[in-house]
Structure 1
Protein backbone atom coordinates (compact mmCIF):
# COMPACT_ATOMS: atom_id res chain seq x y z
CA UNK A 1 0.00 0.00 0.00
CA UNK A 2 0.97 3.59 -0.45
CA UNK A 3 1.92 5.94 2.37
CA UNK A 4 0.81 8.88 0.22
CA UNK A 5 -2.74 10.13 0.33
CA UNK A 6 -4.53 9.27 -2.88
CA UNK A 7 -5.32 12.20 -5.17
CA UNK A 8 -8.95 13.34 -5.38
CA UNK A 9 -10.87 11.10 -7.75
CA UNK A 10 -12.14 14.14 -9.64
CA UNK A 11 -8.56 14.80 -10.83
CA UNK A 12 -8.01 11.29 -12.22
CA UNK A 13 -8.68 9.85 -15.65
CA UNK A 14 -10.93 6.85 -16.15
CA UNK A 15 -7.82 4.71 -16.74
CA UNK A 16 -6.40 5.79 -13.37
CA UNK A 17 -9.70 5.18 -11.58
CA UNK A 18 -9.96 1.66 -13.03
CA UNK A 19 -6.34 0.73 -12.28
CA UNK A 20 -5.30 0.64 -15.93
CA UNK A 21 -2.82 3.49 -15.33
CA UNK A 22 -0.74 4.59 -12.37
CA UNK A 23 -2.59 7.05 -10.14
CA UNK A 24 0.61 9.12 -9.77
CA UNK A 25 2.40 9.23 -13.14
CA UNK A 26 -0.26 8.00 -15.64
CA UNK A 27 1.97 5.12 -16.88
CA UNK A 28 -0.05 2.28 -18.38
CA UNK A 29 -0.15 -0.79 -16.13
CA UNK A 30 -0.63 -4.15 -17.81
CA UNK A 31 -2.52 -7.09 -16.35
CA UNK A 32 -0.82 -8.26 -13.17
CA UNK A 33 1.51 -5.25 -13.10
CA UNK A 34 1.49 -2.47 -10.55
CA UNK A 35 0.71 -2.39 -6.87
CA UNK A 36 -2.96 -2.63 -5.93
CA UNK A 37 -3.96 0.20 -3.58
CA UNK A 38 -7.23 -1.44 -2.62
CA UNK A 39 -10.83 -0.78 -3.46
CA UNK A 40 -11.84 2.79 -2.65
CA UNK A 41 -15.41 3.97 -2.12
CA UNK A 42 -16.72 7.38 -3.18
CA UNK A 43 -19.99 8.88 -2.04
CA UNK A 44 -20.65 11.92 -4.24
CA UNK A 45 -23.02 14.57 -2.98
CA UNK A 46 -25.25 14.34 -6.06
CA UNK A 47 -25.09 10.68 -7.08
CA UNK A 48 -24.83 7.05 -6.09
CA UNK A 49 -21.81 5.65 -4.26
CA UNK A 50 -19.32 3.71 -6.37
CA UNK A 51 -15.97 1.93 -6.11
CA UNK A 52 -12.70 2.71 -7.82
CA UNK A 53 -9.55 0.60 -7.96
CA UNK A 54 -6.29 2.59 -7.98
CA UNK A 55 -2.90 1.03 -8.68
CA UNK A 56 0.60 2.45 -8.68
CA UNK A 57 3.85 1.58 -10.46
CA UNK A 58 5.91 -1.15 -8.78
CA UNK A 59 9.08 0.96 -9.22
CA UNK A 60 8.52 4.02 -7.00
CA UNK A 61 11.71 5.81 -8.12
CA UNK A 62 10.85 5.54 -11.82
CA UNK A 63 7.28 6.59 -11.08
CA UNK A 64 8.43 9.74 -9.26
CA UNK A 65 10.79 10.57 -12.13
CA UNK A 66 7.91 10.31 -14.63
CA UNK A 67 5.63 12.30 -12.32
CA UNK A 68 8.01 15.27 -12.23
CA UNK A 69 8.73 15.33 -15.96
Structure 2
Protein backbone atom coordinates (compact mmCIF):
# COMPACT_ATOMS: atom_id res chain seq x y z
CA UNK A 1 0.00 0.00 0.00
CA UNK A 2 2.74 2.48 0.91
CA UNK A 3 4.61 1.69 -2.30
CA UNK A 4 1.66 3.11 -4.27
CA UNK A 5 1.90 6.53 -2.61
CA UNK A 6 5.08 7.70 -4.32
CA UNK A 7 7.27 10.68 -3.50
CA UNK A 8 4.69 13.43 -4.22
CA UNK A 9 2.09 11.70 -2.06
CA UNK A 10 4.59 11.24 0.76
CA UNK A 11 5.53 14.92 0.63
CA UNK A 12 1.86 15.87 0.74
CA UNK A 13 1.26 13.67 3.80
CA UNK A 14 4.28 15.21 5.56
CA UNK A 15 3.12 18.77 4.79
CA UNK A 16 -0.38 18.02 6.09
CA UNK A 17 1.08 16.46 9.25
CA UNK A 18 3.29 19.52 9.72
CA UNK A 19 0.27 21.83 9.41
CA UNK A 20 -1.89 19.75 11.76
CA UNK A 21 0.64 18.99 14.50
CA UNK A 22 3.09 21.86 14.14
CA UNK A 23 6.89 21.83 13.94
CA UNK A 24 7.42 21.23 17.67
CA UNK A 25 5.16 18.18 18.00
CA UNK A 26 6.18 16.44 14.76
CA UNK A 27 9.61 15.18 16.00
CA UNK A 28 7.97 13.76 19.12
CA UNK A 29 5.41 11.92 17.02
CA UNK A 30 8.14 10.59 14.72
CA UNK A 31 10.17 9.42 17.70
CA UNK A 32 7.18 7.63 19.22
CA UNK A 33 6.36 6.02 15.87
CA UNK A 34 9.96 4.84 15.49
CA UNK A 35 9.97 3.33 18.99
CA UNK A 36 6.69 1.58 18.23
CA UNK A 37 8.08 0.07 15.03
CA UNK A 38 11.24 -1.04 16.83
CA UNK A 39 9.22 -2.73 19.59
CA UNK A 40 6.99 -4.43 17.01
CA UNK A 41 10.05 -5.70 15.14
CA UNK A 42 11.59 -6.97 18.37
CA UNK A 43 8.37 -8.74 19.37
CA UNK A 44 8.01 -10.33 15.95
CA UNK A 45 11.60 -11.56 16.08
CA UNK A 46 11.07 -13.07 19.55
CA UNK A 47 7.86 -14.78 18.41
CA UNK A 48 9.58 -16.21 15.34
CA UNK A 49 12.48 -17.51 17.44
CA UNK A 50 10.02 -19.09 19.85
CA UNK A 51 8.26 -20.92 17.02
CA UNK A 52 11.60 -22.08 15.61
CA UNK A 53 12.71 -23.39 19.01
CA UNK A 54 9.41 -25.23 19.48
CA UNK A 55 9.66 -26.73 16.01
CA UNK A 56 13.26 -27.83 16.54
CA UNK A 57 12.41 -29.29 19.95
CA UNK A 58 9.42 -31.13 18.49
CA UNK A 59 11.43 -32.53 15.57
CA UNK A 60 14.11 -33.84 17.97
CA UNK A 61 11.51 -35.38 20.25
CA UNK A 62 9.52 -36.99 17.42
CA UNK A 63 11.88 -37.67 14.49
CA UNK A 64 10.29 -38.49 11.16
CA UNK A 65 10.38 -42.12 10.17
CA UNK A 66 11.86 -43.08 6.87
CA UNK A 67 9.52 -45.07 4.65
CA UNK A 68 10.90 -48.40 3.57
Q: Which TM-score band (shorter chain)? A: under 0.3
Rg: which structure is higher? 2
Higher relative contact order (CA 8 A, sep 6+): 1
Instruction: Give the number of the structure whose residues are more often strand, by fraction.
Output: 1
